[in-house]
Structure 1
Amino acid sequence: MSTKRLLALLSAMVIAVGLAVLLPAAASAASCATAWSSSAVYVGGNTASYNGHNWSAKWWTQNETPGGSSGVWADQGTCGGSTPTPTPTPTATSGSCNYPAWVAGQTYTTGSIVKYTDGKYYVAEHDNPGYDPVISTWYWDPYTCGGGSTPTPTATATPGGFPVSEAQFNQMFPSRNSFYTYSGLTAALSAYPAFTGTGSDTVRKQEAAAFLANVSHETGGLVYVVEQNTANYPHYCDTSQSYGCPAGQAAYYGRGPIQLSWNFNYKAAGDALGINLLNNPNLVQTDAAVAWKTALWYWNTQNGPGTMTPHNAMVNGYGFGETIRSINGSLECNGGNPAQVQSRINAYQSFVQILGTVAGSNLSC
């Protein structure tokens, strides 16, 4: 072998070794966890895969899509070899804003910026079919644009920022039973942080008003702690359930703000909250925080006779009417009992006024 050829070969080897040192090895993709299921119950620390990502539940959840607005799922990164697509960060133009006007029903993608009828600018947090910015969590709160600044979304509120003060609560329920304490309600909020902690200030107030309006209707203005028709009490024991009715056949009557009833609902709520309500249903009428938690359990996790949870109805722009459907379905909706529907609407309109916000659309069902 000639000296020239030998030098060339050695040079190539040196370059190859250098590249091997400089270039990192290809990262191996994480394996995907079991696919997320809308019907499955997840508790804090449980993992599931969805849309090419692994997700970890922060707290108890059911039927809340990973990556959605609830904030319950923490993104653990891509799995199965897919490459993440970064969410575009909207930036404001220098000088005066020149974004297009919002159009109802028009599809917007994540990062779109629009000018709403109130003259303020909103940025889409998720892809959506044109929901109204001020009644939907598809949009962040308005930000100031112009001058070359980058919009900074308003931070999402936490349960510590419950949008109803004790004075407002007392104004809503002037004749309430002393059992239904404001402190009991605020103590229960930690069980479901997404409740009144999701979306804009308007959405948070609307959800609080919607929940309290339905609660007011169910309890005669927070007057009744238990169901008044005692003749119904023995009917709420579903003996087909394997666990039966250990507290007694007549022990599962309506109690609390949303009048929790039936042995299977006491068991489901108790399992979700970590409280043995199947064996101790009386806790719902003796412990104010437990009573409020059962109401929040239903509101945040149960579709009832509707197609979505009341929480999702309010934060995703479907309107107050869908919360009625999720609570009483055809018994009131679709002409079932218009007077009862109107009673709930009246309470909701009164409560949003107390909270200094608007009722939004789709009030009836």
Structure 2
Amino acid sequence: MLSSSGRGPSLVRSAILLAIAALVATFFTAPAAQAADGQISGLAGKCVDVAGASNANGTPVQLYDCNGSGAQRWSNPGDGTLRALGKCLDVSGNSTADGALVHLWDCTGAANQRWLVSGANDIVNPQANKCLDVQNRSSANGARLQIWTCTGQSNQKWNAPASGGGGNPQPGGFVVSEAQFNQMFPGRNSFYSYSGLTAALSAYPAFANTGSDTVKRQEAAAFLANVSHETGGLVHVVEQNTANYPHYCDTSQSYGCPAGQAAYYGRGPIQLSWNFNYKAAGDALGINLLNNPWLVQNDAAVAWKTGLWYWNTQNGPGTMTPHNAMVNQAGFGQTIRSINGSLECDGRNPAQVQSRINNYQRFTQILGTTPGGNLYC
């Protein structure tokens, strides 16, 4: 699926667009394991360190042998920031791009200085929806730190200091319980497991974990409502029209279709299709989906990750990612536009739009929240 003009059984090519996640005020919580003395330890047991122990604006933040110095003592005052030497961990240039370096800077309260830790020990900048990452996966002293799409690899795993209080920490766990998930999908295919979904959440820690409890529940409901519509209530794992299978190989791509011309049909909760979409999703997730697209129909966590990849990073035929639409309260209608707007919105197929809205309203009711406004597109 995932086309620039819409998504459905007859799918056309899309532009793969990177999108900026919402600018939100969110708070930092500590993972289960805590580093000693305010240190943040990570790859090879080394620490997040301020180069030269300088507190000048723009001082690089790097990986270095843990030594207990003030350059490695980080506090979490509960306002979403991480602080050392009286200044804040800051994403350079307010960038949301992969590879944007982090450094020390005067604390401003801006979104590029806000961080949260997922249950999987990722340190995430919610504005970019990206993880604190060691450049080139290097464990050498002086290796620079940056933000990068969350991959779950060891160069993005950290132990961090506990909150000093005064904030509003994120509660642990997914906002949808297993019982609620089963209530939403009583006839689902067993492939679409709750455990597969929760295992996939670490790839995009800001999903359903940004903003107020109401916004978190609304985003979870919106995502599940759309994938329910795409899969017939989480029943279909693969595209049902097998005649379409050979059509999803774009031979103009330099990498071709190494898994075979008919290998890139729709799979999973978002019905990922086309060779270029498998490549883009695989590259973002650190999984070789171009050569092994069958992972999306055989591994529930991988399948869910492809759905979350689209939701969190792709505009599709819309103007914003579905994640951005929900956390910025643009409304559920904008998620429809980003997923299948060219075929459904602006009066093109009101019955399909209504079907998605019905799912969303039912799911928000199950989650005990309100659907908000701007439901239609």
Q: TM-score, normalised by structure 2?
A: 0.61
Task: Give distance in 1, aligned partners of 2:182 and 2:55.
Answer: 58
Give the structure 2 partner of residue 168 of structure 1.
180
**Judging changes above 3 Å, is the alpha-carbon distance between structure 1 residues 235 and 56 closer, same or farther for their aligned structure 2 residues?**
farther
Residue 41 (structure 1) aligned with residue 98 (structure 2):
yes
1:313 to partner: Cα distance = 0.6
| Partner SS for 2:206 | coil
**Judging changes above 3 Å, is the alpha-carbon distance between structure 1 residues 284 and 67 closer, same or farther for their aligned structure 2 residues?**
closer
1:316 to partner: Cα distance = 0.8
Question: 5+ unaligned residues in a row in structure 2: which ranges?
Answer: 1-53, 61-90, 118-123, 133-164
1:29 to partner: Cα distance = 3.9
Opposite residue 313 of structure 2, the aligned amino acid is T
**Judging changes above 3 Å, is the alpha-carbon distance between structure 1 residues 70 and 353 closer, same or farther for their aligned structure 2 residues?**
farther
1:177 to partner: Cα distance = 0.5
**Judging changes above 3 Å, is the alpha-carbon distance between structure 1 residues 57 and 356 closer, same or farther for their aligned structure 2 residues?**
closer
CA contact (8 A) 1:47 1:57 kept: no
1:28 to partner: Cα distance = 4.7
Q: Which has the larger displacement, 27-36 or 205-214?
A: 27-36
C-alpha RMSD over aligned residues: 2.9
Give the structure 2 partner of residue 93 of structure 1.
none
Residue 246 (structure 1) aligned with residue 272 (structure 2):
no
Query: Could you say which structure has the larger radius of gyration?
Result: 1
Task: Give distance in 1, aligned partners of 2:342 and 2:314.
Answer: 16
1:154 to partner: Cα distance = 2.7
CA contact (8 A) 2:259 2:293 kept: yes
**Judging changes above 3 Å, is the alpha-carbon distance between structure 1 residues 341 and 31 closer, same or farther for their aligned structure 2 residues?**
same
1:268 to partner: Cα distance = 0.8
Give the structure 2 partner of residue 114 of structure 1.
none
Task: Give distance in 1, aligned partners of 2:348 and 2:234.
Answer: 24
| Partner SS for 2:303 | helix
Task: Give distance in 1, aligned partners of 2:98 and 2:166.
Answer: 34
Give the structure 1 partner of residue 169 of structure 2.
155
CA contact (8 A) 1:49 1:55 kept: no
Give the structure 2 partner of residue 144 of structure 1.
none
| Partner SS for 1:334 | coil
Task: Give distance in 2, aligned partners of 1:55 and 1:360.
Answer: 29
Opposite residue 233 of structure 1, the aligned amino acid is Y
Picking from 202, 214, 227, the partner of 1:190 is 202
Residue 235 (structure 1) aligned with residue 247 (structure 2):
yes
CA contact (8 A) 2:197 2:300 kept: yes
1:34 to partner: Cα distance = 7.1
Give the structure 1 partner of residue 229 of structure 2.
217
Question: 5+ unaligned residues in a row in structure 1: which ranges?
Answer: 1-25, 60-65, 75-150
Q: TM-score, normalised by structure 1?
A: 0.63
**Judging changes above 3 Å, is the alpha-carbon distance between structure 1 residues 48 and 239 closer, same or farther for their aligned structure 2 residues?**
farther
Query: What per-residue deviation string (whole Å, max 9, x for no partner) do you get for residues 133-172 of structure 1?
Result: xxxxxxxxxxxxxxxxxx9553234xx4201111111110
Opposite residue 273 of structure 2, the aligned amino acid is S
CA contact (8 A) 1:156 1:200 kept: no
Task: Give distance in 2, aligned partners of 1:29 and 1:270.
Answer: 37
Task: Give distance in 2, aligned partners of 1:41 and 1:205.
Answer: 28
Task: Give distance in 2, aligned partners of 1:163 and 1:301.
Answer: 21
Q: What pairs up with 1:63-102 in 2 under 5 angstroms?
A: 69=127, 72=130
**Judging changes above 3 Å, is the alpha-carbon distance between structure 1 residues 233 and 51 closer, same or farther for their aligned structure 2 residues?**
farther
**Judging changes above 3 Å, is the alpha-carbon distance between structure 1 residues 344 and 305 closer, same or farther for their aligned structure 2 residues?**
same
1:362 to partner: Cα distance = 0.5
Task: Give distance in 2, aligned partners of 1:316 and 1:27.
Answer: 34
**Judging changes above 3 Å, is the alpha-carbon distance between structure 1 residues 51 and 312 closer, same or farther for their aligned structure 2 residues?**
farther
| Partner SS for 1:161 | coil
Query: What per-residue deviation string (whole Å, max 9, x for no partner) do you get for residues 51-81 of structure 1?
Result: 999879999xxxxxx976566477xxxxxxx
1:335 to partner: Cα distance = 1.1
| Partner SS for 2:333 | helix
CA contact (8 A) 1:35 1:50 kept: no
Give the structure 1 partner of residue 280 of structure 2.
268
CA contact (8 A) 1:35 1:48 kept: no
Give the structure 1 partner of residue 354 of structure 2.
342
Opposite residue 195 of structure 1, the aligned amino acid is F
Task: Give distance in 2, aligned partners of 1:311 and 1:274.
Answer: 21
Q: Which has the higher contact order (CA 8 A, sep 6+)?
A: 2
Task: Give distance in 2, aligned partners of 1:36 and 1:201.
Answer: 26
Give the structure 1 partner of residue 58 of structure 2.
30
Give the structure 2 partner of residue 279 of structure 1.
291
1:232 to partner: Cα distance = 1.1
Give the structure 2 partner of residue 133 of structure 1.
none
**Judging changes above 3 Å, is the alpha-carbon distance between structure 1 residues 353 and 57 closer, same or farther for their aligned structure 2 residues?**
closer
CA contact (8 A) 2:116 2:125 kept: no
| Partner SS for 1:306 | coil
Task: Give distance in 2, aligned partners of 1:255 and 1:214.
Answer: 15
Query: What per-residue deviation string (whole Å, max 9, x for no partner) do you get for residues 251-271 of structure 1?
Result: 101000000011111011111
